[in-house]
């Protein structure tokens, strides 16, 4: 029963495969070879084949991959065939942006509730979901079997809130606060650090400007 550990690099690429396959499916493509997919996605065909083979043989020699089948299988690997109950903690623009993102529920993420500290938001609804106050949190998490919390509050409050959420039974946190959360090992954390993304862009712009300067010197 020895399942070999799949590397993070592979996991990182799976959602992108899933996206491309979804698009192919929508445009009616039935089969695709690793080579065709390779040129669309700008990764090597070799990598595609090796990535997929971590999970078993989804293709057929001489034929390629059946788009629909592969899409479904990757979906299963990613756990998109199961439902997860989610709350959003922090009903600011970012929290509301997430709440309004429709494809969400399509992927099995059911938004059960939205929470905030600001009493002026009490009762306001976003996409049919009413914003609740933090004091309802504990009961709500238990009543609704909430497994995931999207954390969209300022970093100063994030650590404290994360601990509270875990105490109340949340098992995974999708963290948008600009800080790292230190939580028990059995709690899953997926960070979205927008500021870091922006800094990488800044680095690349700077490097690119420098390169152009050097080119002009030669």
Contact positions vs a copy of itself (CB under 8 A): 1, 11-12, 14-16, 18-19, 77-80, 82, 84, 92-94, 96-98, 100-101, 103-104, 107-109, 147-148, 171-172, 174, 178-179, 186, 188, 190, 192-208, 214
**Residue numbers 25-44 binding DNA by CB under 7 A:** 32-35, 43-44
Contact (CB, 8 A) for 174 and 184: no
Smallest separation, CB 54 to DNA (Å): 9
Which among a copy of itself, DNA, none contacts residue 65 (Cβ within 5 to 8 A by kind)?
DNA
Based on CB atoms, which residue is closest to a copy of itself, 61 or 93?
A: 93
Which among DNA, a copy of itself, none contacts residue 204 (Cβ within 5 to 8 A by kind)?
a copy of itself
**The dihedral formed by the CA atoms of 5, 7, 10 and 12, expressed in degrees to the nearest 10:** 120
Please work out the total of residues on this chain that contact DNA, with binding judged by CB under 7 A: 26
Based on CB atoms, which residue is closest to a copy of itself, 136 or 190?
A: 190
Place of tokens 């922090």: 90
- For residue 28, how many other CB atoms are within 10 A of its CB? 7
Q: Is 90 annotated as a binding residue?
A: yes
**How many Å separate Cα 95 from the centre of its chain?**
15
Smallest separation, CB 192 to DNA (Å): 20
Based on CB atoms, which residue is closest to a copy of itself, 69 or 107?
A: 107
Strands (E), 40-197: 59-60, 64-66, 84-89, 109-116, 125-126, 129-133, 148-151, 172-175, 188-191
Q: Which helix (H) or strand (E) holds 35?
A: helix 34-41
Q: Is 92 annotated as a binding residue?
A: yes
| Nearest CA among 167, 169, 171, 168 for reference residue 188 | 171
Exactly one of 14, 17, 21, 49 binds DNA (CB under 7 A); which one?
49
| Nearest CA among 108, 109, 103 for reference residue 23 | 103
Distance CA 177, CA 191 (A): 8
Q: Which residues bind DNA (CB under 7 A)?
A: 7-10, 32-35, 43-47, 49-50, 52-53, 57-65
Give the residue numbers of the binding site for NAD(+): 90-95
């Amino acid at each position: 029963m020895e399942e070999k550990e799949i590397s993070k690099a592979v996991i990182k690429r799976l959602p992108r495969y899933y996206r491309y396959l979804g698009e192919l499916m929508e445009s009616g493509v039935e089969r695709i070879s690793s080579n065709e997919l390779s040129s669309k996605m700008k990764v090597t065909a070799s990598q595609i084949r090796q990535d997929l083979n971590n999970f078993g043989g989804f293709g057929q020699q001489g034929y390629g991959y059946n788009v629909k089948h592969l899409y479904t299988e990757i979906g299963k690997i990613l756990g998109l065939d199961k439902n997860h109950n989610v709350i959003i903690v922090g009903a600011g623009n970012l929290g509301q942006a997430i709440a309004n993102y429709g494809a969400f529920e399509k992927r099995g993420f059911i938004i059960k509730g939205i929470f905030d500290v600001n009493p002026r938001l009490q009762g306001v609804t976003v996409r049919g979901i009413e914003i609740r106050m933090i004091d309802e949190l504990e009961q709500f998490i238990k009543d609704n079997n909430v497994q995931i919390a999207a954390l969209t509050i300022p970093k100063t409050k994030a650590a404290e809130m994360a601990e509270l959420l875990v105490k109340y039974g949340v098992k995974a946190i999708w963290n948008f606060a600009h800080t790292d959360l230190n939580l028990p090992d059995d709690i899953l954390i997926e960070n979205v650090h927008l500021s870091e993304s922006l800094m990488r862009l800044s680095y690349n712009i700077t490097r690119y400007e420098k390169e152009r300067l050097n080119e002009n010197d030669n």
